[in-house]
A and B are shown apart, each in its own frame.
Chain A
């Protein structure tokens, strides 16, 4: 049974789970597959998205529920389909399932696209994309969208892979380059393979980053916007380098897709309980309460609202983003919200605790 759009929230962002049929499986590398999902017509609105956004996939395996977020990277000739790039090495086994057990015609439970990793609305800008591994997925979608929608813009892509066999979607990148001659520059860096040019081999550090960016004309001047997506190490190196060079926070967009390499944040101690929570999710408001043993607001919410959106639970994906509309919250380290969102009162339920006796959250905001 396919839910109709009526199942969607009356206001705000669409939530819920939709079983989408797998319409294509393309092996991109020995350890990566592109999963293409068809979106039935009635759900087209719910699954409309902007380049850079992600969906959450829910999968049950051996009595355990797995949730993983994947950036949407539509196939070039079927932009209405969702394509997700899945690597085998996911720690929970979903990747192994996608590469082994999943077949065309199967259905995957998918939540509507979300996330604030999007193209800056800046006509004529120079979009500089720094991708690592499967981080290419949202950045390829963004490159295609920027080049297609804004004839005045320019895109430069720095793409770090382990070795030549691990470069994903290389042909599509080449096609995109041919379709927009002179407006898309692509540099491949291979961390574990020697190439003729030393510059293009080995890990990217701050010095190497600038030597790579300079020939692309990527400086921190006015019309350049940087988009970083990849493992924590690469993203942090790039973010620090850009900050030191004087890039403003507005100029740098970041999406982390793996907790791998992230320095472990101290787990918040168990809460003593008592805080009353009111949360609007999908147009319906419910009450919850922090109990002794709960660590973050999400723990309490999931008891009375198991449909509370979440995925990574470690502050990376932003699925559990909500606006604090009453009371106040303190958030542990997180990588999903930018300074403007935090200033606007947004928090992540998977990292936040209330600092007031009652707190109101709006997940539809």
Chain B
């Protein structure tokens, strides 16, 4: 009796409808991966991303679930499971990209308790439980990529709480990499630097743009595609021997000074 599974893999990209997440969704879809584009509330952006993937001959579905609220991880996976059934796709997932995040551009003195809880709820708590519930869905040989930030490794006081939430995520990468190794699953972090996306409203100011671009040895801001290509490497077959790694994808920010 023959048994077979379609060659294509399935991915979940949280916050996959805009910015870096959108670039990751498009990139994975180009490689034939069925992409579940998770989003919080922007139906239009999510539908546009799904349509763009389909127009390129790929397969995608949109999963709406607000992160940072009780039950968020279950809502994500319920939507994911239902979406696969609706597409007639096989249950289960091969790639999870924890990309969704919010920033908190405040110094220590200005962070409120609500601010603090909120940034940890979205950036740390949500990926933790998304991954917890991913485990029975993840097929052996799968891939997990957590999107962190250069701010978790270099001092950046204007984003202190944000940086702390990403530092916790980095620690999750390490622990899970050790736990999931026997199943052939790799777990890695990709840390962008200054990237040209909507999460950084200050980038609208040309002076700030110039200053942040100058932080990279390439003298430009990162693009979402720069990050997506790094994610795709770790998410693909070529990344099989790399796990527990924190991949600097900042374009050489603070190299040597």
Q: Mark A272-313, 1 if CB is under 8 A from B, else 0.
A: 010010000000000111011110000110011110001111
Query: Which B residues touch A292, using CB under 8 A?
Result: 81-82, 84-85, 91
B-contacting residues of A (Cβ < 8 Å)?
63-68, 91-93, 259, 270, 273, 276, 287-289, 291-294, 299-300, 303-306, 310-314
Query: Which A residues touch B89, using CB under 8 A?
Result: 293
Query: Which B residues touch A310, using CB under 8 A?
Result: 3
Q: Which chain B residue lies CB-closest to A65?
A: B3
Query: Which A residues touch B138, using CB under 8 A?
Result: 303-304
- B85:A293 contact, CB within 8 angstroms: yes
Please report the C-alpha to C-alpha distance between residue A199 and residue B135 in the assembled complex, in whole angstroms: 61
Please report the C-alpha to C-alpha distance between residue A91 and residue B1 in the assembled complex, in whole angstroms: 7
Instruction: Give A170 Cβ to nearest chain B Cβ, in Å.
Output: 29
Please report the C-alpha to C-alpha distance between residue A32 and residue B150 in the assembled complex, in whole angstroms: 65
Please report the C-alpha to C-alpha distance between residue A313 and residue B3 in the assembled complex, in whole angstroms: 8
- A68:B1 contact, CB within 8 angstroms: yes
The 10 closest A-B pairs by CB, nearest first: A289-B136, A92-B2, A291-B91, A293-B91, A64-B4, A292-B81, A312-B1, A303-B92, A303-B139, A293-B85
Please report the C-alpha to C-alpha distance between residue A303 and residue B85 in the assembled complex, in whole angstroms: 16
Residues of chain B at interface, number, CB under 8 A: 20
Once A68-B1, A91-B2, A291-B81 are accepted as A-B contacts, the answer to whether A306 and B91 lie under 8 Å apart by CB is no
A288 CB contact (under 8 Å) in B7, B84, B90, B136: B136
Please report the C-alpha to C-alpha distance between residue A288 and residue B138 in the assembled complex, in whole angstroms: 10
- B81:A273 contact, CB within 8 angstroms: yes
Please report the C-alpha to C-alpha distance between residue A313 and residue B1 in the assembled complex, in whole angstroms: 7
Q: List 11 A-B contacts (CB under 8 A).
A: A65-B2, A289-B137, A293-B81, A293-B84, A293-B89, A293-B90, A293-B91, A303-B136, A304-B138, A305-B140, A313-B1
A306 CB contact (under 8 Å) in B1, B4, B137, B140: B140
Instruction: Give B2 Cβ to nearest chain A Cβ, in Å.
Output: 4
Q: Which chain A residue lies CB-closest to B184?
A: A306
